[in-house]
Structure 1
Amino acid sequence: MSQSFRTFLQVIVLWAAGLGAATQFAKIAVDFRGVAMLYPDQADSVGWLLSIISLMGVILGAVSGAIAAQVGPVRLLVCGLGLGGAVSLFQSTVPVFHLMLGSRIVEGVSHLAIVVAAPTLIAQITIGSARNAAMVLWSSFFGVAFALNAWFGVPLIARFGLPAYFVGHGLLMLCLAVLVAAFRPAVGSLTSECQRWGLKSVLRSHVETYQSPNVSAPAIGWFFYTLTFVSLLAILPGQLPASQSTWVASLMPLAGIVISWLAVPLLLTVLSSVTVVNLGFGAGLVAILFLVFGAPLHVVCIVLFAVLGLVQGGSFAAVPQLNESARDQALSYGAMAQMGNAGNLLGTPVLLTILWRWNEEGVFLAVAGFYAAAIAAHGFYSARRQQAGSSGP
């Protein structure tokens, strides 16, 4: 087996691990009504079964990057997949609500381990244009997983039930853990760069992460992306006529994936990753401006999510472009996990509040403000990198 083909297989396995991690969200979201029916006495609290993973990501995101740098991304990924598989099998027994909620907290730890370790490994085993293409592929894992779960998961749940679906997910995660161990990516040891684990090192890693314009820049931009992605996907279809809402809701994330796969690798051959990200945010502002000139809302929805594909692919590509060492990449992906979960946690309630008070015009005005802030933030961090004389745009 040639080295290039082996690397290709490793990237596919690592991407599949990302699909398994995203399914930790999707298995609850795609049939949320069915999940709620499992706990009819917990109607006021059942929503936590979906969002508790995001809460853990906010708390532990940057810490997971430090752990990946200390214990090694391969070991962390195998442990994350194994833990996720075991938790999903436990959930298939449909335990009482509070045990299920506790299992979701543990599953949040598994999710973080995967989404930090897998892209760190991809960035380490690929170079040049192959790395750009691999990072763009990785960036699509969330949207692809939700689409697959919607297309195939819902019919399977209808036929076999949620517990069987959880069993399938658990077995998939355990199989992926075996595959990662079998196709173990060869990366250098990071132990010489790490401090002994403890509270001080945790605090130090947070300070180091967010003081660095190279390590933190992708995460700050990612926060503004996730602040609007899930929330707009939940809100905008409801503002459309019933005849349009279903197919528009399906096309919105797919449009972003297609643009991310097709356009981002080409743009990265001539532009920096940060420029591609800002291009996506700027195009999003233009798409919103189209509404002022009377463009149909359903067209704006699809165009907006399409151009956000540039942010999606460019943000993950920015991590290895701005950070050379595996340790810094792990810290940066940890920060992306932390900021992404913060965005997911805050986005929907914030935009729903705006929608209730100022209607959809207020929502789009707020989104435009978020994207302008993202461009300004990337400009600020670019200026800091130039001032410090560090590599990267």
Structure 2
Amino acid sequence: MSDSFRTFLQVMLIWFAGLGAATQFAKIAVPFSDVGLLYPDNAAVIGWLLSIISLMGAALGAISGAITARIGPNRLLLLGLVLGGALSLLQASLPVFQLMLLSRVIEGLSHLAIVVAAPTLIAQITSGRARYNSMVLWSTFFGVAFALNAWVGLPIVDRFGLPTYFAMHGGLMLLIAALIALSNLKTDMGQTEGTGWGLSAFLDVHIRTYRSPFISAPAIGWFFYTLTFVSLLAILPGRLPEGQGASIAALMPLAGIVLSWLLVPLLLTVLSCVSVVNLGFVLGIATIIALFLGAPLTFGCIALFAVLGLVQGGSFAAVPELNGTTEAQALSYGAMAQMGNAGNLLGTPVLLAILLGVDEAGMFVAVAAFYSIAIIAHLLLARRRKSAGLSRSDDLK
């Protein structure tokens, strides 16, 4: 087996691990009404079964990057997959609500381990054009997993029930862990800084991460992307004429995946990753302007999510472009996990408050403002990198 084909198979296995991690959200979100029927006495707090994973990521995302650098992305990925698989098998027994909620808290740690370790591994085992293509593939894991759970998972739930659904997820997570362990992944972590595990280490990791214009840049833009992605996916279909919402809701994330696959690898041959991200934000603002000029909302929904695919693919690819060491990449992916979860937590309540307090036009103005802030933040961080005379964080070594 050639080295290039072995690497391709390893990247695909890591991507499948990402599908498993995204399904940790999707297995509750997609059949949410069925999950609610399991716990009728806890209807007021049932939403915590979904959102508690985001809380863990928002709180611990940055430190997870430091842990990845300390123990190695391969080991952390396997731990995350095994823990996640075991928890899904536990959830298949349909425990009481309190135990199910506790399992979801711990599952948040599993999810965080996977989404930080996996792209760090991909960045280490690939290079050049293959790395950019692999990062674009990785950026699709969330949307693809939700689509698969809707198309394949819901029929399984309808026919066999939630216990079988959860058990299948757990079994697949353990199978992927076994295949990755057998694939003989090897990475060189190089020298990592020993920062300990206490409060001072926790604060030091955050200061080190967000002070660096290299490590923090992908995460800063990612926050504004996630601030609007899930929230608009939840809000916009309900604003469409009756009968169109469901089909448009399915097309919106798929449009971003398709454009990311088709255009991002081509654009990265002539533009930097950050420039591709900013282009996505600019085109997002242009789409919103088109709505104000009379473009139909159905067009706006699909077009907006399509151009956000540039932000999606460019952001993940920016991490290895800006950070040359595995440690810096792990910190950067940890920051992306933290900012992404923070954006997911805040986005829907913020945009709903604007929508209810002002109107639909005010909501779109806010979205355009968020994208403008993201562009400005990226430009300011680029200026800081330029003033340092550096192109990558490893130049600091």
Alignment of 1:193-272 (within 5 A): 193-272=193-272
Contact 1:69/1:194 (CA < 8 Å) preserved in 2?
no
Alignment of 1:161-200 (within 5 A): 161-190=161-190, 192-200=192-200
Cα drift, residue 193 of structure 1: 3.8
> 1:316 maps to what in 2?
316
> 2:331 maps to what in 1?
331
Alignment of 1:290-369 (within 5 A): 290-369=290-369
Cα drift, residue 198 of structure 1: 3.1
> 2:111 maps to what in 1?
111
Cα drift, residue 390 of structure 1: 1.6
Which deviates further from its counterpart, 196-205 or 7-16? 196-205
Q: 1-side partners of 2:162 and 2:327: how far apart?
A: 39
Deviations 1:13-53 (A, max 9, x none): 00000000000000000010100110000011000000000
Q: 1-side partners of 2:321 and 2:193: how far apart?
A: 20
Contact 1:70/1:191 (CA < 8 Å) preserved in 2?
no
Distance 1:191 1:160, change over 3 A: farther
> 1:145 maps to what in 2?
145
Cα drift, residue 292 of structure 1: 1.4
Query: What is the aligned residue count?
Result: 393
Q: 2-side partners of 1:342 and 1:307: how far apart?
A: 22
What letter corresponds to residue 111 of structure 1 in structure 2? H
Deviations 1:161-211 (A, max 9, x none): 011100000001101111111113211134654333333222211110000
Q: 1-side partners of 2:99 and 2:191: how far apart?
A: 36
Q: 2-side partners of 1:109 and 1:301: how far apart?
A: 33
Cα drift, residue 344 of structure 1: 0.3
Which deviates further from its counterpart, 66-75 or 238-247? 238-247
Alignment of 1:76-87 (within 5 A): 76-87=76-87
Q: 2-side partners of 1:360 and 1:379: how far apart?
A: 29
Alignment of 1:16-27 (within 5 A): 16-27=16-27
| Structure 2 runs not aligned, ≥5 long | none
Q: 1-side partners of 2:392 and 2:223: how far apart?
A: 20
Contact 2:61/2:338 (CA < 8 Å) preserved in 1?
yes
Task: Look up the SS of the partner of 1:243 in the other structure.
Answer: coil
Q: 1-side partners of 2:192 and 2:243: how far apart?
A: 59
Cα drift, residue 389 of structure 1: 1.3
> 1:95 maps to what in 2?
95
TM-score, length of structure 1 as denominator length: 0.99
What letter corresponds to residue 130 of structure 2 in structure 1? A
Cα drift, residue 141 of structure 1: 0.2
Contact 2:287/2:303 (CA < 8 Å) preserved in 1?
yes
> 1:386 maps to what in 2?
386
Which deviates further from its counterpart, 381-390 or 272-281? 381-390
> 2:154 maps to what in 1?
154
Contact 1:71/1:191 (CA < 8 Å) preserved in 2?
no
Task: Look up the SS of the partner of 1:241 in the other structure.
Answer: coil
TM-score, length of structure 2 as denominator length: 0.98
Q: 2-side partners of 1:200 and 1:191: how far apart?
A: 21
> 1:8 maps to what in 2?
8
Q: 1-side partners of 2:192 and 2:285: how far apart?
A: 45
| Structure 1 runs not aligned, ≥5 long | none
Task: Look up the SS of the partner of 2:109 in the other structure.
Answer: helix
> 1:283 maps to what in 2?
283
Cα drift, residue 392 of structure 1: 5.0
Q: 2-side partners of 1:45 and 1:190: how far apart?
A: 45
Contact 1:69/1:190 (CA < 8 Å) preserved in 2?
no
What letter corresponds to residue 387 of structure 1 in structure 2? S
Contact 1:91/1:163 (CA < 8 Å) preserved in 2?
yes
Task: Look up the SS of the partner of 1:43 in the other structure.
Answer: helix
What letter corresponds to residue 301 of structure 1 in structure 2? C
